[in-house]
Structure 1
Amino acid sequence: MEFNPKRRTSNIILLISAFVIVSLILWNTNIFFEKFKQEERLKIENWAAAQAEIDNSPVDQELGNLPVQILQNNSSTPMILVNKDGTVKTHNMPKELEEDSIKLQKKIKKFSKENEPIAMSYKGEELAMLYYGNSDVLNKLKYYPIALLLIIFLFAAVIFFFFKTNKASEQNKVWAGMAKETAHQIGTPLTSLLGWNELLKSENINPDITKEIEKDISRLQTITERFSKVGSIPTLEVHDIVEETKKAYQYLKRRSSKLIHFSFSSEIEELPVLLNPPLYNWSIENLVKNGIDAMRGKGNIAIQIERQGNFVHIMISDTGHGIVKSEFQNIFNPGVTSKKRGWGLGLSLVKRIIEEYHKGKIKVFSSSKEGTIMQISLKANV
């Protein structure tokens, strides 16, 4: 189950629309670039024709103003003129380039890639080859789509960050509100249960009964404390990670079906870690219960603690049906669940407790048809 399927469809439509608009802009820009380039080539061809006419006209022949104007009007396009006799002349480029043959050859190769050279001829006789590069305007236009994409990307990133922050803020308010209201609602019957249990003790009934009731009352108090901490920054204190994990393990083992086989192992005896025990134990319980649900109430649950450098890894494995690899990240999102009656909040809550409150990491370590291993990683306080 996922929240707001209509919003997701709208987001997909919006994304496709944005992609189409950007594609049209880039397509039109490319057409404009090619058209501008063709016009610039025509201008260079006219320049080459005018230069050939001026260079090969008799000295005593009077030339019109048109060839001269054509030459004078082209002051932006860099050009290299290689005459038939091998002499080189540059236009709209530093004059010292003519004396550096290596740089000159590099420029000629570069210009050849940018534009096809123009053969200059006069009355059917080839006189020279004209190599030319893109003008400053054309170069700027060439990088315009990249700049446009960058602007669009930055704009989209700002919008995405805004909506993500806004969504997270709304979720936080919902989380805090629901949690505090739940803690409040549990508090009233809990107080009543304490009174009834004291009354039972005075009736001289079997003490084992009242002891078990006290355990359940203590459990309800723990649950109330957990919910009251959601939405506020919990206090972290140094605790032994092995002992705290064992507590959660033993509680679940005593209250689970006999069809579930539990096992616990640790390669370390103790390790101090900054923890909030009620919230950490809640995380372990959620992961174990998810594993039990995946096994449909029958199978093996194993908890293993390993140390690697400054980090401790708590591995919770089950023998359930497994998780598809494409869902490894998605399962931690609110509203995502494979259960028909589930709300999809358990793993989202665990991720919040481990990563936001304890500054650790949680992930699907591995998963197959034989089962799943979830890994919690926390930094040791040493």
Structure 2
Amino acid sequence: MDFKPKRKTTNILLLISAFVIVSLILWNTNVFFEKFKDEERKKIEIWASAQTELLQSSVEDELGNLPLIVMANNTSTPMILVNKDGAIKPHNIDEKLANDSIQLQRLIKKFAKENEPIESVEEGEVLQTIYYGNSEVINKLKFYPIALLLIFLLFGTVIYFVFKSYRASEQNKVWAGMAKETAHQIGTPLTSLLGWNELLKSEHIKEEITIEIDKDIDRLKTITERFSKIGSVPELHVYDVVLETKKAFDYLKRRSSKLIHFSMNSGNEEIPVMLNPPLYNWSIENLVKNGIDAMKGKGNISVDIEQKGNMVNVLISDTGHGLPKSEFKNIFNPGYTTKKRGWGLGLSLVKRIIEEYHSGKIRVLSSSKDGTIMQISLKIFK
């Protein structure tokens, strides 16, 4: 049964629902903002009326102290009053700005753009004009939709990465399961091959043949062990990194084209390192094979082992076509490959073996049209 169409439809519906919800919230916020601005304007109009009454009457009038009370209650909205004679009176504005005539003129222009000025008119004559800006609450509300969108984006990003991590974990479990099943399946014919080889020995077949078969059987054992360890934490023990590197290097040397020249420089000194030989050798083989592929089966492959302080560096060099510097990090990503055939899992597997299992480092030391040098760095056991 194919679940992909259902999953695709569900994703589309979720996307549409999220878009509708966000649109409704933004629309509702905008409506609330406009309504709040209308209420603010009504408040200013009442204040303007109180100001007009105050100009035309005295405190002994029948209105009493009502205009003064109305005016005193408005402490949040910045305003500038311009009388008919041009006199300017700021209200709820910072003292420094209030004493600066140039800044006041700028504020008048700014307020006029934000809100339509309110005129106090008496018998056809404009007594004063009130220029008012947005209160602190309105200014904060203006940024509310942006803050809301950022929260949605942050929330969506977190969900995306959690889901992506979950999917990656599930895929890793599938790959680990397939690897272990492969190791299990190889075990049955491998046991049979051991029996058949013993039978050949008893038939006095050429010893060289049975020896080579034993080598290939051992190779299959190593491959089986490698696959069986995928998905679990391997055990590390102290081994000579020079000897283990030489084993992997020599194996490929014997089975590669005569057009490839192999060389290894390590000195005679043992270098103890905490290793899991099957996995470490797998890494060396992958790097050497990549070098052979880059050279298209013809060129030089060399391995140099050198100590630097408490670290040992294993350098694998080839004379292939090289890599652009922009791809130095990408080559370790799962799925990355420059080959027409291949899954792009080799180098990502090497990175995991060296860095996660052996607490080392692997990187492209250098690369040009003359070749590439890969470097593995491991801590020396003391």
TM-score by length of 1: 0.71
* 1:45-194 paired onto structure 2 within 5 Å: 46=45, 49-50=48-49, 52-59=51-58, 71=71, 74=74, 77-79=76-78, 90=92, 116-117=110-111, 134-136=135-137, 138-165=139-166, 167-194=167-194
Alpha-carbon separation, structure 2, partners of 1:140 and 1:116: 18
1:232 Cα deviation from its structure 2 partner: 1.9
Where does residue 95 of structure 1 map in the other structure? Answer: none
Q: Please, which moves more after superposition, 191-200 or 273-282?
A: 191-200
Alpha-carbon separation, structure 2, partners of 1:11 and 1:298: 52
Cα contact 2:287–2:347 (8 A) shared by 1: yes
Alpha-carbon separation, structure 1, partners of 2:351 and 2:272: 21
Alpha-carbon separation, structure 1, partners of 2:325 and 2:137: 51
* 1:233-312 paired onto structure 2 within 5 Å: 233-266=233-266, 269-306=269-306, 311-312=311-312
Q: Please, which moves more after superposition, 282-291 or 22-31?
A: 22-31
Alpha-carbon separation, structure 1, partners of 2:21 and 2:367: 40
Unaligned runs of 5+ in 2: none
Aligned AA (2:192): S
1:292 Cα deviation from its structure 2 partner: 1.0
Q: Please, which moves more after superposition, 355-364 or 171-180?
A: 355-364
Alpha-carbon separation, structure 2, partners of 1:379 and 1:14: 52
Alpha-carbon separation, structure 2, partners of 1:55 and 1:162: 66
Query: SS at the partner of 1:337?
Result: coil
Aligned AA (2:371): G
1:285 Cα deviation from its structure 2 partner: 0.5
Q: 1:158 to 1:41 in 2, by over 3 A?
A: same
The RMSD of aligned alpha carbons is 4.8
Query: SS at the partner of 2:264?
Result: strand
Q: 1:142 to 1:243 in 2, by over 3 A?
A: same
Alpha-carbon separation, structure 2, partners of 1:22 and 1:234: 49
Alpha-carbon separation, structure 2, partners of 1:361 and 1:6: 43
* 1:367-382 paired onto structure 2 within 5 Å: 367-382=367-382
Alpha-carbon separation, structure 2, partners of 1:109 and 1:365: 61
Alpha-carbon separation, structure 1, partners of 2:108 and 2:306: 60
Alpha-carbon separation, structure 2, partners of 1:114 and 1:295: 75
Aligned AA (2:165): K
1:70-127 per-residue CA deviation (whole Å, 9 max, x = no partner) reads: 747746x243769998987648xxxxxx8xx669889x989x7899246898766779
Query: SS at the partner of 1:339?
Result: coil
1:236 Cα deviation from its structure 2 partner: 1.4
Cα contact 1:367–1:373 (8 A) shared by 2: yes
Cα contact 1:267–1:307 (8 A) shared by 2: no
Alpha-carbon separation, structure 1, partners of 2:326 and 2:345: 19
Where does residue 94 of structure 1 map in the other structure? Answer: none
2:310 is equivalent to residue 316 of structure 1: no
Q: 1:160 to 1:15 in 2, by over 3 A?
A: farther
Alpha-carbon separation, structure 2, partners of 1:13 and 1:290: 42
1:239 Cα deviation from its structure 2 partner: 2.5
Greater gyration radius: 2
Q: Please, which moves more after superposition, 372-381 or 23-32?
A: 23-32
Aligned AA (1:46): E
1:301 Cα deviation from its structure 2 partner: 2.0
Q: 1:66 to 1:246 in 2, by over 3 A?
A: farther
Alpha-carbon separation, structure 2, partners of 1:146 and 1:244: 58
Alpha-carbon separation, structure 2, partners of 1:304 and 1:11: 55
Q: 1:87 to 1:250 in 2, by over 3 A?
A: same
Alpha-carbon separation, structure 2, partners of 1:282 and 1:168: 23
Alpha-carbon separation, structure 2, partners of 1:218 and 1:141: 73
Aligned AA (1:272): P
Cα contact 1:52–1:121 (8 A) shared by 2: no
Query: SS at the partner of 1:281?
Result: helix
Alpha-carbon separation, structure 1, partners of 2:43 and 2:342: 72
Cα contact 1:47–1:74 (8 A) shared by 2: no
Alpha-carbon separation, structure 2, partners of 1:315 and 1:14: 53
Where does residue 228 of structure 2 map in the other structure? Answer: 228
Alpha-carbon separation, structure 1, partners of 2:108 and 2:337: 56
Q: 1:310 to 1:298 in 2, by over 3 A?
A: same
1:279 Cα deviation from its structure 2 partner: 0.3
Cα contact 1:33–1:141 (8 A) shared by 2: no
Alpha-carbon separation, structure 1, partners of 2:109 and 2:80: 14
Cα contact 1:268–1:307 (8 A) shared by 2: no
Cα contact 1:238–1:275 (8 A) shared by 2: yes
Query: SS at the partner of 1:224?
Result: helix
Cα contact 2:180–2:228 (8 A) shared by 1: yes
Alpha-carbon separation, structure 1, partners of 2:92 and 2:239: 78
1:259 Cα deviation from its structure 2 partner: 1.2
